[in-house]
């Protein structure tokens, strides 16, 4: 719960600081490319980065990569993902303004739990997920290039999970709707 409160407080401070620092709200439209990272995800061991390239005054393409690895005691987890989207701004002010973004994400996950000490061997699992979705957000860009990007959305995840325990293997199909969100700090040029 403490991590959640810390993240919520950091997000609130970022929103208040960004809106008060940009009181004139004059869009910065002379930037064509941007890179950003999510500093809050590092709390959970997730490294994520984003790239945006302006195609025209009201649209851009985006790309994302992430890597997540956790390991403790007899448990290990690794996830690698990529994503792409087409960001459409409500006004011709890209990359500074309100937008909506249809996107698709791909994720590969593997995990291992070692039960050797209990006499059971180890359990391994691997999964691959495909997730089309949509986000709506606001990106603030300052003349110096600093940017803040906040967004919320939803995606429909489709995938399969394969689990092996000793000589036994089980495959399960998974799918469903889920929320998504974004908080990134970065630089535009």
Q: Is residue 48 within 8 Å of 41, Cβ to Cβ?
A: yes
Phi, psi of 173 (to 5 degrees): -90, 140
- Where would I find the H helices in the chain? 2-21
Interval 97-142: pLDDT, tens? 999 999 999 999 999 988 776 677 788 999 999 999 999 999 999 9
pLDDT band at 26 (very low <50, low <70, confident <90, very high): confident
Tell me how far the alpha carbon of residue 182 is from its chain's centroid. Answer: 6
Task: Give the pLDDT confidence of 35-54 residue by residue, as tens digits.
Answer: 999 999 888 889 999 999 99
pTM for the predicted model, two decimal places: 0.80
The full DSSP string for 142-166 is -TTSEEEEEEEEEEEEEEEEEEEET
CA 82 – CA 115 distance, rounded (Å):
32
> Cα–Cα distances in Å, from 181 out to 18, 32, 38, 184?
18, 24, 11, 10
């Amino acid at each position: 719960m403490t991590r959640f409160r810390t993240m919520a407080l950091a997000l609130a401070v970022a929103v208040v600081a960004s809106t008060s620092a940009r009181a004139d709200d004059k869009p910065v439209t002379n930037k064509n490319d941007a890179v950003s990272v999510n500093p809050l995800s590092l709390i959970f061991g997730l490294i994520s980065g984003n790239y945006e390239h302006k195609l025209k005054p009201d649209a851009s393409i985006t790309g994302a990569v992430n890597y997540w690895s956790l390991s403790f005691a007899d448990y290990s987890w690794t996830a690698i993902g990529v994503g792409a989207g087409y960001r459409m701004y409500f006004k011709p002010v890209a990359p500074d303004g309100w937008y909506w973004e249809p996107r698709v994400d791909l994720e590969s996950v593997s995990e291992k739990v070692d039960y050797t000490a209990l006499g059971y061997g180890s359990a391994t699992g691997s999964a691959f997920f495909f997730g089309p979705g949509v986000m709506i957000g606001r990106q603030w860009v300052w003349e110096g290039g600093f940017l803040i990007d906040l967004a919320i959305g939803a995606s429909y995840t489709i995938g399969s999970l394969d689990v092996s325990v000793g000589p036994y293997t089980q495959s399960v199909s998974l799918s469903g709707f889920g929320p998504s969100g974004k908080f990134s700090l970065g630089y535009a040029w």
